[in-house]
Structure 1
Amino acid sequence: MYLHLGQNEIVPYRRIIGIFDLDKCSTSRRTRDYLAAAQREGVVLDVSGDLPKSFVVCDHPYHDQIVYLSQLNSATLASRAERSHFQNNFE
């Protein structure tokens, strides 16, 4: 099962650690520090193609974590993930 993040990027559902609203979370110093550190480590992938609205943190086989910046809002991504998870469990 996969989650489409936008711009032809998909991630396996089992790898998702969290889905976050960029506007709400970027007010926190800890979040800004985390994203800055991830950027320095080269583990941020901008798949937004425009102004990102959310970020998705995933585990990765070659890095501790990878951060995807998405143009889709966090509510849309969370809804997709929940809907896919719900459908998969009852099919």
Structure 2
Amino acid sequence: MYIHLGGERIIRSAELVAIFDVSIEKSSKISKQFVSHACQHKNVEYIGEEEPKSIVITKSTVYYSPISSSTLKKRAKVFVANA
């Protein structure tokens, strides 16, 4: 199954590791370090031109999505429930 992250970006649900609200970057030192490390290794992708609302972590890439984390979690939950 697939999850639409916004814009033209779709990922396989099997690749999904976590979905966070973008505010976690400001509140968690560990998440800042994680995203910083991903940026250094060029594993970060911004989707669309809108302000990011969520961070989606997959096995290979960190995505900044313009779709809220709650909406993305609902989309992901549908696929988990059907698996």
Shift in Å, 1:33: 1.1
Which digits, 9 at most, give the CA deviation of each residue in 1:21-43, with x for residues without a partner? 111x1111111111111111100
Instruction: Give the number of aligned pairs.
Output: 82
User: Counterpart in 2 of 1:62?
Assistant: none
Secondary structure of the structure 2 residue equivalent to 1:36 = helix
Q: Counterparts in 2 of 1:47-58, with a 5 A limit?
A: 47-58=47-58
- Please provide the CA RMSD for this pair: 1.1
- Partners of 2:16 and 2:78 in 1: CA distance: 15
- Partners of 1:18 and 1:48 in 2: CA distance: 20
Q: Which runs of 5+ in 2 are unaligned?
A: none
- Partners of 2:48 and 2:72 in 1: CA distance: 13
- Partners of 2:63 and 2:48 in 1: CA distance: 9
Q: Counterparts in 2 of 1:4-15, with a 5 A limit?
A: 4-15=4-15
Secondary structure of the structure 1 residue equivalent to 2:62 = strand
User: Counterpart in 1 of 2:2?
Assistant: 2
Q: Detail structure 1 runs of 4+ shifted over 6 Å in the superposition.
A: none
Relative to the length of structure 2, the TM-score reads 0.91
- Partners of 2:29 and 2:69 in 1: CA distance: 20
Q: Which runs of 5+ in 1 are unaligned?
A: 60-64
Larger Rg: 1
Shift in Å, 1:53: 0.8
User: Counterpart in 1 of 2:70?
Assistant: 75
User: Counterpart in 1 of 2:21?
Assistant: 21
User: Counterpart in 2 of 1:46?
Assistant: 46
